């Protein structure tokens, strides 16, 4: 059985209308709702780079701003089920229309585009892993981060993010979609100050959807007094416990 103990040093999340810890606590208690408010570029992003950020990237930087400062060196794990699929779909439509494709648009559509922008904005020169977790949901990022901690890293920053799929893509048989871009950042450590947590396999058979859906469930878990959370798909389920 896989078991990993870690300390949650800090976390931040963004969804429309929810950006501060107070917002997320109110939402988890049912006292606040999400809105249609799009994210702006946070002040940490230089103006020359702000024009490169789409809504999803802006959501990522808002969440990460709670966990890292410019120049701070920390290994990162970026996890997105579908990445910049909306931008990729627009490029396919451009090609279909016989129009010229923008090299800049292409470079910002690949799965590691946001992690590359992140390394520039925060001047973070540590290793960065970018994954597409598929049906494993958010657990895949925790597995990768746990491996980094076991290899001697003091801290690891996890960044989970996704956006709505274009209507062109089928949503069945899984819960592939969400209604808004959202992002969750967590800085974890092997030991030291913070919230002690445990991550382990669970025998439960569950169907909690892919990462976009699980991400919000985990943010609610962090913002509330909930002591444990189990998420999974088919035969792969995982539990998180506040210790």
What is the domain-level CATH number for residue 29? 3.40.47.10
Instruction: Name which of 13-17, 80-84, 138-142, 153-157 the model is least confident about.
Output: 80-84
Cβ atoms within 10 Å, residue 151: 8
Local structure of 240: helix, strand or coil: strand
Q: By residue range, what is the domain housing residue 26?
A: 3-242
Mean pLDDT: which of 20-29, 171-180, 227-236 is highest?
A: 20-29
Q: How confident is the model at residue 107 (pLDDT cuts 50, 70, 90)?
A: low
Task: Identify the pLDDT of residue 235.
Answer: 77
Q: What are phi and psi of 96, to 5 degrees?
A: -60, -35
pTM above 0.85, yes or no: yes
User: Per-residue pLDDT averaged across 122-133, rounded?
Assistant: 94
Chain mean pLDDT for the chain: 88
**Where is pLDDT greater, at 163 or 192?**
192
The half-sphere exposure of 208 on its side-chain side, counting CA atoms within 13 A, is 24
- Which stretches of 41-176 are DSSP H helices? 47-50, 55-64, 85-96, 103-107, 113-121, 139-150
The domain tally of the chain equals 1
Task: Identify the pLDDT of residue 38.
Answer: 79
Residue 74 scores a pLDDT above 80: yes
User: Per-residue pLDDT averaged across 50-56, rounded?
Assistant: 82
Task: Identify the pLDDT of residue 183.
Answer: 96
Task: Identify the pLDDT of residue 172.
Answer: 64
Task: Identify the pLDDT of residue 106.
Answer: 66
The half-sphere exposure of 94 on its side-chain side, counting CA atoms within 13 A, is 13
Task: Identify the pLDDT of residue 174.
Answer: 52
């Amino acid at each position: 059985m896989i078991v990993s103990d870690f300390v949650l040093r800090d976390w931040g999340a963004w969804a429309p209308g929810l950006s501060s810890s107070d917002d997320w606590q109110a939402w988890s208690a049912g006292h606040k709702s999400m809105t249609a408010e799009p994210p702006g570029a946070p002040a940490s992003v230089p103006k020359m780079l702000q024009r490169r950020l789409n809504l999803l990237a802006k959501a990522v930087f808002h969440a990460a701003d709670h966990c890292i400062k410019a120049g701070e060196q920390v290994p990162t794990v970026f996890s997105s089920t579908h990445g910049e699929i909306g931008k990729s779909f627009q490029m396919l439509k451009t090609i279909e229309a016989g129009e010229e494709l923008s090299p800049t648009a292409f470079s910002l559509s690949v799965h590691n585009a946001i992690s590359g922008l992140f390394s520039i904005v925060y001047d973070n020169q540590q290793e960065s892993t970018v994954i597409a977790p598929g049906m494993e949901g958010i657990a895949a990022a925790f597995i990768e981060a746990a491996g980094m901690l076991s290899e001697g890293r003091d801290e690891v920053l996890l960044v989970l993010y996704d956006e709505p799929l274009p209507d062109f893509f089928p949503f069945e048989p899984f819960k592939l979609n969400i209604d808004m871009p959202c992002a969750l950042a967590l800085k974890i450590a092997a030991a030291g100050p913070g919230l002690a947590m445990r991550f382990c396999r669970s025998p439960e058979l569950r169907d909690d959807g892919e990462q976009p859906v699980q991400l919000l469930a985990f943010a609610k878990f962090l913002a509330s007094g909930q002591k444990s959370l189990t998420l999974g798909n088919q035969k792969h389920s995982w539990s998180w416990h506040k210790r």
